[in-house]
A and B are shown apart, each in its own frame.
Chain A
């Protein structure tokens, strides 16, 4: 069964296809949701709501070209709606925290092995503003094209490119900062 068949069967009320849609897409939707809000319970609630709406309105749904992108967009709108902020994607909570440089010693040890571990990656990425993280997730993790990203996020394609480059620049800068801090530490001893 391919994507379109599953979607058609689901619209006709097929439980298995609905479950398949959930199994196939919910994990990645959750990941995406976590880029939009740091409140994981809110993301879960929204995930449930999106699938609930799907089931409730299944007779009136269209046939999206890409199920996954359609669902990502639906989740995005749901999270924006449920977040306490105003109903605009611009006012998504940008409550990102800054990495403290206090753990330089462990940074040094990690970098000496030249293996950037998962934690560090998470810490670096979490320093990017929410919208940059969102673009990065869609482009690098989900492999969406700039055009697809612009549809999911409701942006111009040009803004997608801009956000991508901004994120890469920022990350390079963070790298540099980390290396400098380590160098200082090395000279201090």
Chain B
């Protein structure tokens, strides 16, 4: 299976988890990464700028209609849902919060399933709610690869645990293990 994209959802403790994961990934990554991190509606794009400065990948806050390119990391802007359009561009929406969240992990994951089908990798990281569980389940149903952070390692275990309970993901791994798996998949894909 060749994969076309990675989607990641994170909430409480997500900033540190994403920092560890994204800085561990090599440059020349063959897929784009789309990230929803739950964040205050009025925050600025500090996280994208910071991660961009310390990682080998290009990390940016997503703009509407922006083409989704391999090797880039797109962070959902505060107070907007981020969707994947089927022509592989970014869609943004201000529709109501889903499970108290905007951006919502489920909204990103479910739209990505329509765009990428089975060629999608979904990852649920640390968080203190159950956003992402339905989305990860949808990815699994479509034949994509599903991963949850090892709850005992997560700063908040509820979100990965909810995803594990509902989606029964293929892998349950600590951050280091997720980084290693993605790096291997990337290497195999390039062969």
User: Do chains A and B stick together as partners?
Assistant: no
Q: Interface on B for A, CB 8 Å cutoff? A: none
Q: Interface on A for B, CB 8 Å cutoff? A: none
